Amino acid sequence: MSTSTPTTAIEPISVTELGARSILDSRGFPTLEVRGTLADGTELRAAAPAGASTGEHEAVELRDGGSAFSGRGVNVAITRLDDEIAPLITGRRWSSIDEVDGALAELDGTSGYRRLGANAVVAVSILATRAFAHAAGQPLHTWISTTTGADELLPVPHFNVLNGGAHAANALDFQEFMIAPVGAATEREAVDTGAEVYHVLRALVADRFGTAGLGDEGGFAPPLADPREALDLLVEAIVEAGRRPGTDDVAIALDPAANGFSLGDGRYRVGDELSRDQLVDYYLTLLDDYPIRSLEDGFAEDDGDGWTAMGEALRRPDGSWRVQTVGDDLYVTDPARIRAGAEKGWSDAVLIKPNQIGTVSQTFAAVATARELGMAAMVSHRSGETVDTFIADLVVGTGVGQIKSGAPARGERVAKYNRLTEIELDRPGLRYGLA
């Protein structure tokens, strides 16, 4: 993760009109789409994603409550945007994204954007970022790279091909089973490899379970319970697709999302009830038996002792980690939480979700914190998505080298992967791989 000094001055923006409407997300629930017009007549838009297995400390979405859509309407958020955010944003020229985001935080006046809604705030912040890129005459990823001082890099995609936990109706305790084509030479090859393994896996799942139904992120959700059965299926699919299961070719990544199977007090249920130490041992046997390169949220967000125990088991004497250990719900893209976790030796990597922290500039700060602390980072979608592709440009422009955007199927997931291969076409020679 090398950095260079930004060379281009930021052009100011002025947004002449700003409005929002309710659209449906990939789960069929309402979310916000924001539309803005710039002084030169250009129209921009941005949409907010939504999580299902959210962290306790995430920025807070504003939802209507009541009975419609199980209380998930966004009409109150739209009214506040019309009444408060739009006059703020259209009322002046802005000279940096920090300035826009700072004004949004000040207008909101609460922690976690409870008053205006983090769903409204993140969409407006993304729209403003697009406006700055437009004003500078740069593609979004290039503007992000220039602004953050990072070198652009095409990331290794982590395709979530088997779904469990809060994202599926099966009894699988772990939430996400991903494949990562680390050995690919290009983004194109990585995306195609992911899709080919996915098709083989579909046939295996349909043959074995008589159904190839999907979970929220487009991965299959067969009636499995044991994580090992899911891992065996992945290995079989990778081999049958003609690739090598290995941390140097097609690797596996897990997001158990342990909040979902935590029983509290350091106890967990993965089939049997496990103590902290037993769960650490369980992960160690999985690392022995499968080519796993990344392990996210192996312990619950409030179980610091569990994270400490896992860190001690996974850190080698030279300080390197046996597997990339990622904090998602643990850190919620919050620079202060990331710093505290690093000091306690909890993980060597950070998941980056803009709507967890609320604004683009805070997201840049989270990436910068990870980089300063020598931690890796992975940019992530949410389980409830739209076709907005902001995170594809974000991952290239921040150069962190890793993204997860669900399965290589379903429009809201492939929109991001297709944007990555488009950037690669537009930028011949841009490097693909881990940072």
Does 119 sit near ligand PGA (CB under 6 A)? no
Minimum CB–partner distance for residue 180 and Zn ion (Å):
15
**Beta carbon nearer to ligand PGA, 53 or 347:** 53
- 250-255 and 176-181 as β-strands: parallel, antiparallel, unpaired? antiparallel
> Taking a C-beta distance cutoff of 8 angstroms, is the pair 303, 266 a contact?
yes
Nearer to Zn ion, 58 or 255 (CB): 255
Q: Judged by CB under 6 A, how many residues of this single chain contact ligand PGA? A: 11
Rounded to 5 degrees, φ, ψ at 432 are: -105, 140
Out of Zn ion, ligand PGA, none, which partner does residue 301 contact, by CB within 5 to 8 A per kind? none
Subset of 5-64 contacting ligand PGA (CB under 6 A): 51-54
φ and ψ of 185, to 5 deg: -90, -25
The residue assigned the tokens 């100011």 is 12
Give the footprint of ligand PGA on residues 201-260 (CB under 6 A): 255, 257
Select from 359, 383, 402, 421 the one that contacts ligand PGA (CB under 6 A): 383
The smaller minimum CB distance to Zn ion, of residues 187 and 296, is found at: 296
Degrees, nearest 5: CA angle 270-272-273: 90
The listed partner (Zn ion, ligand PGA, none) that binds 383, CB under 5 to 8 Å by sort, is ligand PGA
- Is-contact 100 94, C-beta < 8 A? yes
Span from 24-32, 63-71, 322-330, 424-432 in contact with Zn ion (CB under 5 A): 322-330
Give exposure, 287-313, as e/b (b: 16+ Cβ within 10 Å). Answer: beebbbbbbbbbbbbbbbebbebbbee
How crowded is residue 151: how many other Cβ atoms within 10 Å of its Cβ? Answer: 16
Phi/psi for 153 (5° steps) reads -155, 135
CB of 302 to ligand PGA, least distance (A): 15
- Answer yes or no whether residue 377 interacts with ligand PGA by CB under 6 A: no
Q: Pattern 321-360, binding to ligand PGA, x per CB under 6 A? A: -------x--------------------------------
User: Residue with the closest Cβ to Zn ion?
Assistant: 328
Query: Hey, is 267 helix, strand or coil?
Result: strand
Q: Which of 33, 152, 296, 353 is catalytic?
A: 353
DSSP H stretches of helix in 12-117: 75-80, 86-90, 97-108
To ligand PGA, the closest distance from the beta carbon of 178 in angstroms equals: 10
**Please, which residues have CB within 8 angstroms of residue 131's CB and are 6 or more apart in sequence?**
13, 15, 36, 38, 44
Eight-class DSSP state of 343? H
In the complex, the smallest distance separating the C-beta of residue 370 from ligand PGA, rounded to whole angstroms, is: 16
Catalytic (active site) residue 353: yes
Q: Please identify which of the residues 33, 61, 217, 296 carries the catalytic annotation.
A: 217
Instruction: Indicate whether 255 belongs to the interface with Zn ion (CB under 5 A).
Output: yes
Among 80, 382, 416, 419, binds ligand PGA (CB under 6 A): 382
CA distance 415 to 302: 34
- Taking the least distance from each CB to ligand PGA, the nearer of 348 and 385 is 385
Stretch binding ligand PGA (CB under 6 A), from 4-12, 80-88, 273-281, 378-386: 378-386
| Lateral strand order in the sheet of 267-270 | 262-264, 267-270, 272-275
Minimum CB distance to Zn ion, residue 256 (Å): 9
Give the shortest CB-234-to-Zn ion separation in angstroms: 18
The span from the CA of 364 to the CA of 124, in Å, is 16
φ/ψ of 57, rounded to 5, equals -100, 15
Which residues are at the interface with Zn ion (CB under 5 A)?
Answer: 255, 257, 296-297, 328
Q: Which residues are catalytic?
A: 217, 353
Contacting residues toward ligand PGA, per CB under 6 A: 51-54, 175, 255, 257, 328, 380, 382-383
